């Protein structure tokens, strides 16, 4: 295995790989790849030895390239100009997983040029991002959870998006510019901003008002004050069915819950954990949510055990209840016996709007999915 420099396409003005500077290359560790190594396709595709690769139509070559992993697809792009054009055809780069790359910036900016629709890039280090070309991106689903990326680079990326339907920026430092650009993605259905910071309540209100199709929204543990919470509950769309507003110990009040229930009567999953201002008085209010299937009130310490015994009667379709911190281990069997149709404390981690549920084992095969689907092209170490 030797380290070699490989040309990652894009329009380079017809120059060969050797004529392009360092910015046109992406470094991988891999074996040398030659055109001859692709000849194993020949017995299946070529009826005569007199037919060369050059005589194959683009459709056939694209079908062959479709079978190649990401690194090999990059390698064959250096063979000739035609293969460079076909190797980066939009049909081959529909979905890409770049998790595991140490220098993600260069790869990311060049992958985005291909018209990618689904991008998985969590826990990555993006040292810089220079999107020199103009125009909007075609990204529909994107996961940048817990990555290290400069705020200005993230602004440039998000502000080029207009078609986003599913987005996770969990743990990132944002800005009002980023939130304002998100408002232009009116097709958003799942949005995860858990643990995000550095954006104002007015910007958040405008975004929520504009993105009226959001069904799953995770705003847990952001750096919110009372104004942020008010912006959320006042501007949520009635389309929201899964909502995580956990982590607001001294900010989320009973009045906020009342507004929330009125604005979003179709909620099925609701997480209000770690809201220490809430008492048992919130339960009759939440009772109005006729479709509530999953309720999380973990560490809402002013809701006592006695108030939980009638939960199954208050919420007839409830199937899951999380009350970590409110019920001692010795009390749990009794509570479960009184609510045999409700699973209690079975979900320590919220899955709302998360591309990959936190309960999955990191590094497993299922951990590489994004909103229940794998990306076709994956960077492999």
Per-residue pLDDT tens over the stretch 233-290? 999 999 999 999 999 999 999 999 999 999 999 999 999 999 999 999 999 999 999 9
Cα-Cα end-to-end distance for the chain = 12
Contact 175, 356 (CB under 8 A): no
Q: Is 79 helix (H, G, I), strand (E, B) or coil?
A: coil
Entry pTM? 0.84
The per-residue pLDDT for 129 is 85
State the 10-residue block means of pLDDT for the chain, 381 residues long.
30 38 33 44 49 84 90 87 90 90 83 92 88 87 95 94 98 98 98 98 98 98 97 97 97 97 98 97 97 98 93 94 94 93 94 81 64 88 53
Half-sphere exposure (Cβ direction) of 334: Cα atoms closer than 13 Å = 10
Angle, CA of 247, 250 and 253, to the nearest 5°: 95
Give the pLDDT score at 192: 98
CA angle 70, 76, 79 (to 5 degrees): 165
CA-CA distance, 380 to 93, in Å (whole number)?
Answer: 16
pLDDT at residue number 103: 79
**Tokens (6 digits) for 141:** 């689903």
Look at residue 381 in the predicted model and tell me its pLDDT.
53
Identify whether the C-beta of residue 24 lies closer than 8 Å to the C-beta of residue 7: yes
pLDDT on residue 232: 98
**Cβ distance 195 to 218 under 8 Å?**
no
Give me the pLDDT at residue 366, please.
55
Q: At what angle do helices 254-263 and 226-235 cross, to 10 degrees?
A: 20
Query: What is the DSSP track for 55-89?
Result: GS-HHHHHHHHTTS-HHHHHHHTTS-HHHHHHHT-
- Per-residue pLDDT at 258: 98
Alpha-carbon gap, residue 28 to 2, rounded angstroms: 9
């Amino acid at each position: 295995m030797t380290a070699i420099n490989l040309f990652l396409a894009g329009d380079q003005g017809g120059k060969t790989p050797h004529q392009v500077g360092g910015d046109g290359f992406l470094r991988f560790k891999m074996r040398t790849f030659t055109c001859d190594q692709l000849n194993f396709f020949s017995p299946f595709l070529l009826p005569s030895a007199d037919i060369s690769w050059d005589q194959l139509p683009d459709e056939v070559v694209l079908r062959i390239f479709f079978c190649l992993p990401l690194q090999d697809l990059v390698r064959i792009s250096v063979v000739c100009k035609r293969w460079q054009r076909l190797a980066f055809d939009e049909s081959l780069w529909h979905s890409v997983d770049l998790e595991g790359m140490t220098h993600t910036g260069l790869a990311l900016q060049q992958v985005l040029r291909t018209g990618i629709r689904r991008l998985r890039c969590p826990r990555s280090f993006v040292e810089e991002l220079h999107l020199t070309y103009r125009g909007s991106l075609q990204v529909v689903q994107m996961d940048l959870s817990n990555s290290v990326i400069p705020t200005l680079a993230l602004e440039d990326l998000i502000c080029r998006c207009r078609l986003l339907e599913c987005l996770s920026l969990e743990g990132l430092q944002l800005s009002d510019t980023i939130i304002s650009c998100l408002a232009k993605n009116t097709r958003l259905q799942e949005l995860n901003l858990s643990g995000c910071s550095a954006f104002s309540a007015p910007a958040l209100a405008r975004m929520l008002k504009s993105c009226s199709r959001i069904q799953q929204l995770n705003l847990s543990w952001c750096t919110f004050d009372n104004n942020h919470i008010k912006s959320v509950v006042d501007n949520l769309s009635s389309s929201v069915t899964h909502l995580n507003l956990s982590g607001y110990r001294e900010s989320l009040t009973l009045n906020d819950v009342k507004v929330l229930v009125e604005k979003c009567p179709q909620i099925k999953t609701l997480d209000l954990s770690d809201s220490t201002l809430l008492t048992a008085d919130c339960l009759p209010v939440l009772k109005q949510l006729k479709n509530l299937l999953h309720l999380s009130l973990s560490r809402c310490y002013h809701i006592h055990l006695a108030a939980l015994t009638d939960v199954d009667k208050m919420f007839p379709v409830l199937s899951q209840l999380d009350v970590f911190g409110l019920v001692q281990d010795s009390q749990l069997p009794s509570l479960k016996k009184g609510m045999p149709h409700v699973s209690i404390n079975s979900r320590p981690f919220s899955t709302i709007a998360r591309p990959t549920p936190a309960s999955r084992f990191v590094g497993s095969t299922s951990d590489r999915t994004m909103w229940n689907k794998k990306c076709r092209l994956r960077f492999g170490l």
